[in-house]
Amino acid sequence: MRHQNLWAPWRISYLQGLVDEPAKPAQDQGPGGCFLCAAFDVPLKDEQKRQRMILLADERGSLMMNRYPYSNGHLLVSPKKHVADISDLSAQERSGIMALADLGNRLLRKAMHCQGVNMGMNLGRCAGAGVPGHCHMHLVPRWQGDSNFMQVCAGARVIPQALDESYAMLCEALAAVEKEK
Ligand SMILES: [Zn+2]
């Protein structure tokens, strides 16, 4: 493996292939073929939610784990509406995804005990958006000294299992937070 960061070995090949990438990859064919829109398919059974790593999908938007994460616990927040830019959302829709970002932040701290969180959006393919047609926010949990730890300890093969475990922990934290309301 050429890339040192084993948590995201697919990222570098994606970036290397970026120039040749078609304008619209299969994952981003509008509401019909968009995995962010698919979170709102109703009714999703628990097993389907688990497979897609969806924590929550309601009128505000969706909160799910990224299956191609920068680090374990990497979350995605997206609006329900399939639009490329947050400027295409209403003020209410924008505050909806902000509420979900807040929830995601709390879940990461509760379930993953992270010490920090990177939160941000890539709008447009040249800005790094993997699904440029459906804007979404990334929440990446961070721990003191995490990049060193991951380079040394994490292997590509442990990722799927680690992601399943994290999903279960985040679901538990979500249930606890909902009970607190
Ligand atoms: Zn979409």
3-state secondary structure the chain: CCCCCCCCHHHHHHHHCHHHCCCCCCCCCCCCCCHHHHCCCCCCCHHHHHHHCEEEEECCEEEEECCCCCCCCCEEEECCCCCCCHHHCCHHHHHHHHHHHHHHHHHHHHHCCCCEEEEEECCCHHHCCCCCCCCCEEEEEECCCHHHHHHHHCCHHHHHHHHHHHHHHHHHHHHHHHHHC
pLDDT at 175 over 50: yes
CA 81 / ligand 1 centre spacing (Å):
7
pLDDT of 160: 62
Q: What is the pLDDT of residues 21-64, one digit of tens each?
A: 333 444 444 446 899 999 988 777 888 899 899 999 999 999 99
pLDDT of 168: 94
CA 180 / ligand 1 centre spacing (Å):
31
CA 18 / ligand 1 centre spacing (Å):
21
Average per-residue pLDDT for the chain: 80
pLDDT of 16: 44
**Residue positions annotated with a catalytic role:** 136
pTM attached to this predicted model = 0.78
Rounded Cα–Cα distance for residues 64 and 161 (Å): 17
